[in-house]
Amino acid sequence: MIFYFTGTGNSYAAALGIQQEVGGELINITDCLQKGRYEFAPEKDEAAGFVFPVYFGGLPSIVNDFLERVHFASSPEYLYGVLTYGGRFFGAGGMLEKKIKDSGLELSAVFGLKMPANYAIMYEPPREEEADEILEGSAKRLEEILEQILDRALVKEGTSKSEVETSIKFYPRYNKDRQTAPFYVDDQCVSCGICAERCPVKAIELIDGTPTWIKETCVFCMSCLRCNAIQYGDVLKGRYRYRHPIFRKKTKGKTECH
């Protein structure tokens, strides 16, 4: 079984690639939290993996919430993490290892997988041509990771003391920055409601046809930014918004917001 969380498609694509080679059920962490599904029973000798992005050197809030609730009928013999990142990996592996340990489990391996960055609120993400070049390298790296998963290698990247200390230093900013107050929609909005459907923590609600952020904080996954009508103060105006090719949809030569 492979548990995944994704915002703009990087981690979903990685999880899908792992499933195609390793097999097992592909399980969306967002769906689990929304449906209250936390009990799992791995088959004998079945590996279990967690695939998700790195935020500020640590774990997305939704992944933290899930790991605090998940329960296995029997401990997976091999438990691994594949963490996608666009900037720096830092000590994200150590952050996951600690969270797994706090949940009463033991992490066997953790791997970092560099992919195109998506944090458009802070910086300009790579455009399609550059992103596709990065993804070529990601595909080769994923092949290496897959070999190690199949061999059940005990590899723990991003777990050194210095790396974890760096994550501990930067991670608090994640909880500080993920405020929803600056989000709004401009006159490009067509009231389709897709952003509300897409939000993993239901922080957006369509009120009188206008997407409205009803929670003070969200996961900051950038999933809603696949629509160009969504703004965040003035920082996103004219800025490219990244999404993995798996989420790029074309209709009559134009890219859809969803």
CATH code of the domain in which 154 resides: 3.40.50
Average pLDDT value for the chain? 93
Domains: count for the chain: 2
pLDDT, tens digit (0-9, with 9 covering 90-100), for 129-165? 999 999 999 999 999 999 999 999 999 999 999 999 9
Does residue 184 sit in the same domain as residue 168?
A: no
Does residue 84 sit in the same domain as residue 191?
A: no
Q: Is the pLDDT of residue 204 over 70?
A: yes
Q: Is 74 contained in some domain? A: yes
Does residue 52 sit in the same domain as residue 109?
A: yes
**136 contact partners, CB below 8 Å, separation of at least 6:** none
Does residue 210 sit in the same domain as residue 90?
A: no
Does residue 164 sit in the same domain as residue 224?
A: no
Q: Among 174, 195, 226, give the residue marking a domain's end.
A: 174
| pLDDT value at residue 124 | 92
Q: Is 86 contained in some domain? A: yes
Q: Is the pLDDT of residue 9 over 70?
A: yes
Does residue 21 sit in the same domain as residue 75?
A: yes
Question: How does DSSP classify residue 73?
Answer: S
Q: Is 16 contained in some domain? A: yes
Query: What is the C-alpha to C-alpha distance for residues 255 and 258, in angstroms, rounded to an integer?
Result: 8
Does residue 170 sit in the same domain as residue 184?
A: no
If you search the block for the tokens 């965040």, which residue do you land on? 232
pLDDT grade, residue 44 (50/70/90)?
confident
Q: Domain range holding 244?
A: 178-248
Q: Is the pLDDT of residue 41 over 60?
A: yes
Does residue 168 sit in the same domain as residue 183?
A: no
| pLDDT value at residue 247 | 87
Does residue 154 sit in the same domain as residue 49?
A: yes
Rg (CA), the chain: 18
Percent of the chain with pLDDT over 70: 96
Query: What is the C-alpha to C-alpha distance for residues 62 and 37, in angstroms, rounded to an integer?
Result: 14
Asked whether the beta carbons of 1 and 48 are under 8 A apart, the reply is yes
Does residue 237 sit in the same domain as residue 132?
A: no
Q: Is 256 contained in some domain? A: no
Of the CA atoms within 13 Å of residue 119, those in its CB half-sphere come to 17
